[in-house]
Every structure is written in structure tokens, then in C-alpha cells.
A and B are shown apart, each in its own frame.
Chain A
């Protein structure tokens, strides 16, 4: 196997934000950033998950061993977190060394995240194990919780949600029962690989890809679950369906479900009760957990938030006594649910059972809001979603079979695009401002830490706008900045930056089976969200049909990007744009000059310098000269036409053409001849008279 490497050609000026591809793969090996070799023949199965394969990697200089996560397909990773962790080494957290895009021998690209490799890769409990020997409270506290909480505390101080706390992602470092090491959290979307049992009730209700970045207290819950499982040696919810597990947790509480049958010390019970509290307001923070770990007494908040009611509601053949469950199951039978709501039976039931008037008012407000367009388009789905949301505001948005947290809409959309699933439901979800409504509930105020409501307000406007760089694609890139460009044109490429986009288009352009033009809705939206310059004007024109403005805008867009991001020659992209460049050359009226320009374009394509190519066809000086000369030529032509018309009409008048001039000439000749004759006569007369004298 050769170890040939290439230097980075796509380094962006602001390279701090994103690492660019500078790798080349030989058979069975990836080279990452010219520094690391990744051996595809040496998989490390303990760390792999459904969105990433893991392999052994070594540094080319020192031979140090690493672990490489090779992301599957074009799934995004949490690169903002990776950037932080590369700069900031957090003790007891699997450290991120580097990441970048590698190119396989077939030309396809993959995102690789490189982490430290624990000396002995032993998860506390493998995902394939259903049980292990229970751990003692002391071991859990000292060897597991102390290092893990320390790592999580550091993460939370930086406002980073881990989201991957589970038994198979916590490792013994070196030997069994030594200090534990918390696994990575950057190679998958938050919550997407986390078993539902580790998620809070509301997150567990969401589709795994639609969980999104959670609140920090949700890490605390996962930590509580981790401790409960380790103390028991098995997961008490194992074998149950997610639906049944959620139902059990809602009815009995997570603490009861997870600790049933355990002999807990009062200390551990206090910890588990506080971390597994189903109301996030009553749950401990990571700081409180740390205080408990180091042996301090921590007081818990006492919040009673039962939404259990006294009367039974029968729906879809089931008897309900809990608002969260009825909210969850409303979508199971939409016809009956609509009847229940529209007949007023739901409100009546709430009035009879609930003392809390706020809940009734909230449900009534949701019903009224859903009817804003007088039962117009989408009323039924909107009504079910809004009523469900008002009954259980912390639960995910449930809309047409979609169950997603607002922060997870981006991730869910990526998954749907990659799996080529219908996307209409996402567009409707955004258009109906459901996420924005969700964030408006006071129960969800804590989730709005990242200005989510502003972002959703923004995307709800974006989705209504027409244009190649708007719509659902743009919403995706606005919601999830670390997602690669998901254009079908770039299906083999992992494009994270504008420089990478140009290079990938360059490669695609080398293939003659390329699409007609290097711009589609995904690429346009990606450029709009990732390029620091506002390219909206170019994109509007590039979408149009004007035979000059369209190709000119397209070429100028890519030329300016190449210049701005200092991307080296792009001969493939230049070849792809050659038809457009030649079309721009048609702006020159002078055919000879136009032919020369086209000839020069053809010879300069291999150079791949779009600026030079554009200068050939868009030189203001040449355009001005051409226009001026063309105007002169047109005026000359017009004069010739006039003369032609005049001569032709004269020639048609055969009988008179030239006669007038002839008569004038005849008069002149006659005058001259007559004058000469008279002068001669007089001269002769005078001469004769003189002779007579």
C-alpha cells in the first residue's frame, strides 16, 4: 500500500472554522490531513454505530495510535463541538484530535473524525451484552461518576450537550474498575444513536434523528439511567417496546421504573430520584450532581407536576387517565380524535377532571389557533398537532406521523433527504410555524437558549419565498450549519465549505455525464448560507432565462467564489461552464472578435482560472468598444440602405433616370459651343473690317 499524499489545495482562508479535504486514499487506506493513516482493514467494532464505522489510525510522524470514525453517507457530525474539543482537551472525555474529509480511491469522499484510542477498548457494558455484574455504589460513584461528571461539567460549562451517555459509550481506562472515560459525542446527530431508555420521556417520544440538541439537564437524566442500569447490572426496560416503556415511565415515573426492586441506599436513592425526575425543573443540574459526587448534601426541588386526572377518557378503544398519553395517541385515530375535539368532549372532559384552568385555556387556544383559516387547507392535521402540543407541551411536535423536537427538525430532514423520503411534511411543519409555537410554551422556555424561535421565525418566511436559494433546502442549511451539501450532483462528495463545494463541482465537471449546469436548489442554498458574501442577485439571475444574464450570473458567481476562497484552478468546472462562457461571448457583436474569444476560452479552460475566462467575455473596455463600433457599423449600414433604396428607385424609373442631368449638361454644352461660335464670328468680322481699312 502506498502512502502517497497530496497537499491541501482547498484550504479556505478562514480555515479555523472547517478543515478541508486534503486527503487521498490508496487501497484500503485513508490519509487524513496528510498526517494520519486510517487502515480500513483494521475495524474497531466496539466504537462503531449506525452512522459511522470505526478503524484504527496512526499518526504518520510518531506512530501514535488513534481511532477514526468514518461517517457513513453524508450524515452530519457535530463539527462545532469537534472544533471546541480539538482546542480544549477535556479530561476523562475521549478527546477529538482532528477531523477532515477524505477521498477514497473511487473519488468518493467521507468525513473522518479522529479521536484518541483508549489503551484497552472496554466499554463498561457492551451494547451486545444484556446484563453484567452489578457495580457497587462506591465503584459507580468514584470510578465512573466522578470522572464522567467532571467531563460533563466541563462540557456544560461550555454550554455543550453531550447526548451520548450510555453504558456502551463509557469505557474503562486500561483496566476493569479503573477510572472511566466518557465516549465521544460528535460523530452523530444528538440523540440519533441513543437508546430511547436513556432519553427523557419527551425525547424518547421523538424519532431518533429528530431529537436534536437537548437541554443540559437531559444529560443528567441519561447519567441517572446509566447509574441505575450499572447498579442493577441490566436495563429493566430492555425487551419492552419504546411505546410501552414510555407509557410505563409516564404512568409510574422514570425513577420508579428504573429502580423497581433495587435495594438503594438513601444516598443513591436521593441521587436517582433527583436525576431521573421527569420534570426538568426538578431535576438536578450537573453542578448539583458534582456536589453529590464529591460527598456534599444537595437539596432537591419539590415540584408536583402530575397531569393525571380523576376521570377516564375513552379514545380509540383505550381508557386514558393521563394527558401526556392522550396527547401522544391522538394521531393514532385522527377521525375519532377530530370528533373528540370538535364535539367539545375533550374540553368537557378536561373541565370535569382538571382543576387547572390554565391547561383548559391552553387547549382551547390551540383549537382556536388551528382554525385560523376557517377549516381551510391542512386544518385537521394542524388541529391534532396543536391540541396534542397544548396537552403535553414538552413532547415533540407530532404532525402527520412526524414526531420531532424543534431542534431536531434539521437532523430529521437530513435523514429524510438521504433516505429519499417525502419532504412535504417538513415543509408544512415549517410553514405552519409549529416549532415556533412549541417554543412559545412556557414549559419549553429553557429550550430556546440558542435563539431557536428566531431561527424558526426566519425559516417560516424563507420557505414561502420563491427562488432557487429558498425553500426547504435553504431551511435545512439555516437550521443545521454542519450539514454537508446534500445536492444529488454531489452525492459522492462531503462538502462542508464553499471551497470544498467548488472542488467537488470541479471533479463532477470532469465527468461528461454531469448534469446540465452546476447549480441546483441545494447548491444555491448552501452557497447562500455558507458564503460570507450576499450572492442573492447572482442566484436570481442564474435562475432566469435571459440568454446573457443567466450564464453571466452563473459564471460570475463561481468566479467570485473561486477568487474569494482562493481555490486553485478548476478546469473541470471551467469545462462545465464553457457553454455558458461561450454564450456570454455572444454579447460581442463583432463576429471575428467573438470567434477569437471562443477560441481563447477553449484554450484557457484547462487553466481553470474562472476570473481569466470571465475577463475574456466580460471586459468592460472591450464591450464598450464593441458596442461603439457596432453602432457606427449600423449607422453606416443604414446609410448604405438609404443610398441603395434611392439608386434602386431611380433605376426603376428607366425613362427619366439621368435625363435631367443630361439636359443640364446639354444646356451647358450648347452654351459653351454657342459662345465659342459667336466669339469666332465676331473675331472674324473684326479681322475682316481691319483688313478692309
Chain B
């Protein structure tokens, strides 16, 4: 028995942790049911964007979420001001102005998410094309000064580490 290695210390499983968080979250949601109702309805575009985003960065939820949350904040403040009841929550949710505020924020976030990449891509493309022209100009200058040997194919193929030679 003495030769047996010591057992590793017990590790709390992440599943257990998750369950614990879900339990706390569920209890909290039930306890704050009016707020939960407003958030559930108001943040619906964010949930949809988050779960339907297939991009590598998965930033649709965040982009929409930021504006959506900003739009949900005034209805929440009104709920908490009117009285934290389910009736008040339903009342607020039935008001078109409140819905416009919540979903308008999400819409702005959505517009940002759709249009900003297009704009940035256009700017970056122009920058890249300009840079390519500059590089080709450098090529010509280097070849004029050092001859075609400067574009040493073997060096390129051998993938020689690009270390500055010691002068």
C-alpha cells in the first residue's frame, strides 16, 4: 500500500458548477419574475443573434446586445418605478413605445453589425491595394539597385529565417 501513488485532490466538475449557476440563475429569475419577463422579451433579438451567429468571431450577439440592453434599460427603470409586479411588466411590454425602444436599440446594433464590416472592408481593401503598389515600387527600386539576384528564389524556397545579418 505504501508504494501506491497518492491520489490526486478531488476536482469539482465543471458540470456541477454549471448546474449550480443555473440553479442560482433560475431561483433569481423566479424571484425577480417581472424583470425577467421584460428582459426575456426585450432581449429576444440579442438571444436570436447570439444563437444564429455562425461567424468565427461570434460578435453579432455582443454588437446587438450592447444596443439592445441600452434600449431595455428605460422599460426596466419604469417597471421598477411603477412597482415590481408581473401586471406592470405585462403592461409595459404591451406598450408599443416601450417595444420600439427595446427593439430599436437592437435594430441599431444590427445595422452596426451589418454595415460597419462593409465600410471597414472597403477602407482596408483600398489600403491594401495602395500598399501593394508601394511594394511593387520597392521591388523595382531594389532590382534596379541590386539586380534580379535580390529576388533570390532559393532563399524564398528554402524559407531562410529573416534575421538581420550582423554588420
Contact = CB atoms under 8 A, between A and B. Distances in A.
Our verdict on whether A and B bind, yes or no, reads yes
B66 A667 contact: yes
B156 A641 contact: yes
Interface in A467-520: none
Contact of B69 (A639, A641, A665, A674): A674
Contact of B57 (A630, A638, A643, A663): A663
A637 B142 contact: yes
A650 interface: yes
B30 interface: no
Interface in B42-95: 55-57, 59-60, 62-71, 73-74, 77
Nearest to A640: B135
B124 interface: yes
Interface string B122-135: 11110011011001
Contacts of B63: 663, 666-667, 670
B162 interface: yes
Contacts of A632: 164-165
Interface of B: 55-57, 59-60, 62-71, 73-74, 77, 105, 108-109, 112-113, 115-125, 128-129, 131-132, 135-136, 138-139, 142, 144-147, 149-152, 155-156, 160, 162-165, 167
B interface, by DSSP: helix, strand, loop or mixed?
helix
Nearest to B116: A666
Interface of A: 589-592, 628, 630-641, 643-644, 647-648, 650-651, 657-667, 669-671, 673-675, 677-678, 681-682, 685
Contact of A591 (B57, B64, B145, B152): B145
Given A647-B128, A663-B117, A673-B108, A658 B123 contact: yes
Nearest to A648: B132
Looking at B147, B149, B164, the one whose CB has the most chain A CB atoms below 10 A away is B147
A663 B57 CA distance: 8
Contacts of A647: 128, 131-132, 135
A630 B146 contact: yes
Contacts of A631: 165
A662 B62 contact: no
A500 B61 CA distance: 94
Given A633-B146, A634-B155, A670-B113, 17 more contacts: A630-B150, A634-B149, A637-B139, A639-B162, A641-B156, A644-B135, A647-B135, A657-B128, A658-B117, A658-B123, A662-B119, A667-B113, A670-B63, A673-B70, A675-B66, A677-B105, A681-B77
Contact of A634 (B125, B135, B152): B152
A19 to B, nearest CB: 51
B113 A638 contact: no
- Nearest 9 CB-CB pairs, A to B? A662-B117, A658-B121, A662-B120, A674-B66, A666-B116, A658-B124, A677-B70, A674-B70, A670-B66
A638 B155 contact: yes
A591 B147 contact: yes
Given A633-B142, A662-B116, A670-B66, A681 B74 contact: yes
Contacts of B64: 670
A interface, by DSSP: helix, strand, loop or mixed?
helix
A453 B115 CA distance: 101
B105 A665 contact: no
B139 to A, nearest CB: 7
A249 B71 CA distance: 141
A658 B150 contact: no
A644 B125 contact: no
Given A631-B165, A637-B139, A658-B121, A678 B73 contact: yes
A636 B142 contact: yes
A685 B66 CA distance: 20
Contact of A661 (B68, B124, B167): B124
B154 to A, nearest CB: 11
Given A647-B131, A667-B66, A670-B109, A637 B151 contact: yes
A663 B73 contact: no
A366 to B, nearest CB: 63
Nearest to A685: B77
A589 B143 CA distance: 10
Contacts of B105: 674, 677
B122 A667 contact: no
A253 B57 CA distance: 121
Contact of B150 (A634, A644, A674): A634
Given A638-B156, A640-B135, A628 B113 contact: no
A651 B156 CA distance: 22
A635 B165 contact: yes
25 contacts: A589-B149, A630-B146, A632-B165, A637-B138, A640-B138, A641-B151, A641-B156, A644-B135, A647-B135, A660-B55, A661-B120, A662-B116, A662-B121, A663-B113, A663-B116, A666-B112, A666-B116, A670-B63, A670-B65, A670-B67, A674-B66, A674-B68, A677-B70, A677-B71, A681-B73
A634 B161 CA distance: 12
A348 B117 CA distance: 116
Contacts of B132: 644, 647-648, 651
